[in-house]
Chains A and B, each alone.
Chain A
Amino acid sequence: MTANNPSASGPASTSRLAPEPRANVPETPLAQMPEPRRSRGGRFLAKRAGFYLLTAWVALTINFFVPRAMPGDPAQTLALQITRQTGTTLSPEVLQSIRNLYGDPNQNLFEQYWNYLGSIFTLDFGLSVSRYPVPVLELILGALPWTLFLVGVSTLVAWLVGTSLGIIVGHRPGSRLDLWLTPISQFFSSMPSFWVALLTLWVFSLTLGLFPSSGGYSPNVPFQINNVWFLLSVFRYATLPILTGVFVGFSGWLFAMRNMMVTTISEDFVTLARAKGISERRVIFRYAARNAMLPNITGLASSIGGIIGGVVLTEIVFTYPDMGYLLFQAITTKDYPLMQAIFLMIVLAVLVANFIADSLYVLLDPRTREV
């Protein structure tokens, strides 16, 4: 009788499987056992960082070649445009900076590229055309904190609200809450953001007069970061744009989270967790949501990359002094240096955000640690 194949045994061989002697496990005293290694992701992250540095270099290089591939001499055109608009003659330093960024037909390409990289790394993005002679960098630095605050907060709040609601409706698909909340939130998200912005502006600002209609802070208080009244006014002015962002944004997270929850909740490991007799809350968070959340976390990290671009349409409605509004101004006044710098910022921010997403994923999902 072959002991290896139970299904090959017949009526005459119905002897029971013999309980085998205990297998020999190499005994390691528990005290000497190494703690599990926790830093396997390091190499993986180094590889990813290298990849993103390469991508950033490619983006910078494309940014270098685009104006040089344009017919004619964009640098010359730009210089003329500034002169025409402002009536000033450009200093040699300004001219050189424009040449570095937009090309110099009299210089060899390698030298140009070297100068261009020098400009970029010293954060010299040239001077704004529309607000000459303010450096582009200054305009961007002025708008960036507003963007980080406004879009950052509304993205985070929308994510938190959407993801938590997604966990709640997703762990009981088909419940009354699910049947109402899910379609309603879909309806919300299908509203155009600028329309919601106009609506909130009309209701809360113009009709009820609860919140100011435009700007980023009250003109009646001094612009001081350590002034409580200034900070309070910042929050008051940001309420409506944030509300709009959350209102339009949360349902996408809700829907994604709900659907992941629905599939995860029926996984065997969730059933097994229930069978273990641990509390339902722990089953939902530690087993179901912990796994279902992974795509949402990546989504959050990459949407943080988009923050730099601002939410152009909403910001225009609220005339909020951030990057979205700056980009809008740059486009309407054909301020190419400003536009180019903003686009470059967006590209770099997306790369950084993706790198953060990758790193988070490595922390959260051990299966991605294998290299």
Chain B
Amino acid sequence: MTRLLEVSDLDVVYLGLTDEGNVRACADINFTLERGEILGIAGESASGKSTLLTAVTRLQQAPAVTPKGSVRFYDAGDSEGVDLIAADEKALRRYRWSDISIVMQSAMACLNPVTRLEAQFADALRAHDRSLNRAQIRQRTADLLAMVGIAPQAMGKFAHELSGGMRQRALIALALACDPDLIVMDEPTTAVDVVMQRQILNQILRLQHELGFAVLFVTHDLSLLLEMADRIAIMYGGRIVEIGQARQIADDPQHPYTRGLRNAFPSLTEPRRERHGIPRSPPDLRKLPAGCAFEPRCDESVAACAAVRPELLDIGPCLAACHVRAAERGVAPLPTARPATEVIA
């Protein structure tokens, strides 16, 4: 497999949203994505997953900024890669849609309400190939819509004339327009019911199989990721706390938070037993503890957890940021309870 995307030490900060100053919504994000791979990112609300997506695609709006880190994108045959964070808008436009496209959550809000579908496909197609004529664009649009099971007549329609499921599928077709290497999906199935959700996911998987694009898939629904992703990253309090193969996250989650998520939904085949949620609420990103952000809710925490923030380490089955797990596996000793206390900037 060849590398497609490499995110290193990425921070995303919302400038001056509160009186206490800036809010760091994503911190020290590190992950890689191979060509044709499906990487799922799961986490609860406000864990920074959507912020991460907009930063990776460089679609973030003020006051969000990326003060440090890089997002290196490797175009086909380009071993050097290009840092999307450092690139200016003009350079980025080369990569937009033809290399990286997105599917967003609310399909109604994503389509321009006053132009026909055809015009919105044409916009994307023309932006990357000026030589296309109208007949070619209509043909391509029809082909794209057919890929997601929509009749070509729909291209003459406006967004409000389509059903919710059709809009979402049209958006997926739109994302495929320029044959991208990477499609970023931000909860693409949240707005539809479970039946349509299943249909759409199957469609994404089939198309991914046929066309070979990579997917960065963000959702709060871990169970959904377990079924479709190759690898899964779990975010908590703006950081990745565990990243591993989907099978491993499903069968043998390491981080206590992942375990909590994993145990929160029942299996169809196991005997009935009581389910437990994770007690208490997610952390306030404005005042994260000095140590592990999950420590206040963790039932395995030790004294060191509150004092020292765990790094994301290779602990064997996966990468995880947990002192207890690292010590268990003999990767790193438990830090002493009071070393030089690290304070979050």
State the A residues within 8 Å of B (CB): 1-26, 28, 30, 33-37, 174, 266-269, 271-280, 282, 286-287, 290-291, 294, 364-367
A276 touching B268 in the complex, CB below 8 Å, given contacts A6-B197, A11-B251, A269-B109: no
B267 touches A277 (CB 8 A): no
Distance, CA A5 to CA B247, complexed state (A): 19
Partner of B156, one of A5, A21, A35, A364: A35
A272 touches B110 (CB 8 A): yes
Instruction: Please report which residues of chain B, range 85-118, place their CB below 8 angstroms from some CB of chain A when the two chains form the complex.
Output: 89, 92-98, 100-102, 104-106, 109-116, 118
A277 touches B93 (CB 8 A): yes
28 A-B Cβ contacts within 8 A? A4-B194, A8-B266, A10-B223, A10-B265, A10-B266, A11-B262, A11-B267, A14-B246, A17-B201, A17-B202, A20-B199, A22-B147, A22-B206, A25-B151, A33-B153, A268-B105, A269-B113, A273-B112, A276-B96, A276-B124, A277-B93, A277-B124, A279-B127, A286-B115, A287-B112, A290-B112, A290-B114, A294-B114
B194 touches A5 (CB 8 A): yes
B123 touches A282 (CB 8 A): yes
The 9 closest A-B pairs by CB, nearest first: A10-B267, A36-B156, A277-B96, A23-B149, A268-B109, A19-B206, A20-B202, A12-B269, A278-B127
Distance, CA A134 to CA B132, complexed state (A): 66
B227 touches A15 (CB 8 A): yes
A3 contacts which chain B residues (CB < 8 A)?
Answer: 198
Report whether over half of chain B's contact residues are helix, strand or loop; otherwise say mixed. helix
Partner of A280, one of B89, B123, B148, B152: B89
Counting CB contacts under 8 A, is B18 at the interface?
no
B227 touches A16 (CB 8 A): yes
A13 contacts which chain B residues (CB < 8 A)?
Answer: 267-269
Per-position contact with A for B66-99: 1 when CB-CB < 8 Å, else 0? Answer: 0000000000000000000000010011111110
Chain A residue nearest in CB terms to B57: A275
| Shortest distance between the CB of A183 and any CB in chain B (Å) | 20
Distance, CA A366 to CA B113, complexed state (A): 8
Distance, CA A279 to CA B94, complexed state (A): 11
Since A276-B96, A294-B114, A367-B160 are in contact, a sample of 10 more A-B pairs with Cβ atoms closer than 8 Å, ordered by chain A residue number, is A10-B265, A10-B269, A11-B250, A11-B251, A24-B149, A34-B153, A269-B109, A275-B100, A277-B97, A277-B128
| Shortest distance between the CB of A240 and any CB in chain B (Å) | 39
Chain A residue nearest in CB terms to B99: A277
A275 touches B152 (CB 8 A): no
A267 touching B109 in the complex, CB below 8 Å, given contacts A1-B268, A6-B194, A19-B206: yes
The tally of residues in B whose CB lies under 8 Å from a CB in A reads: 76
B160 contacts which chain A residues (CB < 8 A)?
Answer: 366-367
B322 contacts which chain A residues (CB < 8 A)?
Answer: none
Distance, CA A290 to CA B158, complexed state (A): 15
State the B residues within 8 Å of A (CB): 57, 59, 61-62, 89, 92-98, 100-102, 104-106, 109-116, 118, 123-124, 126-128, 138-139, 142, 146-153, 156-158, 160, 194-195, 197-199, 201-203, 205-206, 208-209, 221, 223-224, 226-228, 246-247, 250-251, 262, 265-270
| Shortest distance between the CB of A267 and any CB in chain B (Å) | 6
Chain A residue nearest in CB terms to B269: A12
Chain A residue nearest in CB terms to B145: A25
A17 touching B205 in the complex, CB below 8 Å, given contacts A9-B223, A10-B269: yes
A282 contacts which chain B residues (CB < 8 A)?
Answer: 123
Q: Which of B95, B127, B138, B148 has the most CB of A within 10 A?
A: B127
B228 touches A16 (CB 8 A): yes
B123 touches A278 (CB 8 A): yes
B102 contacts which chain A residues (CB < 8 A)?
Answer: 272, 275
A276 touches B127 (CB 8 A): yes
A271 contacts which chain B residues (CB < 8 A)?
Answer: 59, 61, 104
A277 touching B98 in the complex, CB below 8 Å, given contacts A19-B206, A282-B123: yes
A269 contacts which chain B residues (CB < 8 A)?
Answer: 109-113
B123 touches A273 (CB 8 A): yes
B251 touches A14 (CB 8 A): yes
B106 contacts which chain A residues (CB < 8 A)?
Answer: 268
A19 touches B205 (CB 8 A): yes
B59 touches A275 (CB 8 A): yes
A291 touching B223 in the complex, CB below 8 Å, given contacts A16-B228, A17-B198, A19-B202: no
B109 touches A7 (CB 8 A): no
A277 touching B95 in the complex, CB below 8 Å, given contacts A14-B246, A14-B251: yes
Partner of A11, one of B89, B111, B270: B270
| Shortest distance between the CB of B341 and any CB in chain A (Å) | 37
Distance, CA A37 to CA B116, complexed state (A): 11
Partner of A6, one of B94, B113, B223: B223
| Shortest distance between the CB of B270 and any CB in chain A (Å) | 6
Partner of B97, one of A19, A275, A290: A275
Chain A residue nearest in CB terms to B139: A30
| Shortest distance between the CB of A286 and any CB in chain B (Å) | 7
Chain A residue nearest in CB terms to B223: A7
Chain A residue nearest in CB terms to B189: A6
| Shortest distance between the CB of B16 and any CB in chain A (Å) | 12
B221 touches A19 (CB 8 A): no
Q: Which of A2, A19, A35 has the most CB of B within 10 A?
A: A19
Distance, CA A11 to CA B262, complexed state (A): 9
Distance, CA A275 to CA B147, complexed state (A): 21
Distance, CA A291 to CA B151, complexed state (A): 27
| Shortest distance between the CB of A285 and any CB in chain B (Å) | 12
Distance, CA A59 to CA B149, complexed state (A): 54
| Shortest distance between the CB of B322 and any CB in chain A (Å) | 20
Chain A residue nearest in CB terms to B123: A278
| Shortest distance between the CB of B161 and any CB in chain A (Å) | 8
Partner of A266, one of B61, B96, B100, B265: B61
A364 touching B114 in the complex, CB below 8 Å, given contacts A17-B201, A274-B59, A277-B128: yes
| Shortest distance between the CB of A67 and any CB in chain B (Å) | 47
A17 touches B228 (CB 8 A): yes
Partner of A278, one of B95, B124, B199: B124
B206 contacts which chain A residues (CB < 8 A)?
Answer: 19-22
Distance, CA A3 to CA B194, complexed state (A): 10
Chain A residue nearest in CB terms to B60: A271
| Shortest distance between the CB of B340 and any CB in chain A (Å) | 40
A19 touching B223 in the complex, CB below 8 Å, given contacts A277-B94, A367-B160: no
B198 contacts which chain A residues (CB < 8 A)?
Answer: 3-6, 17
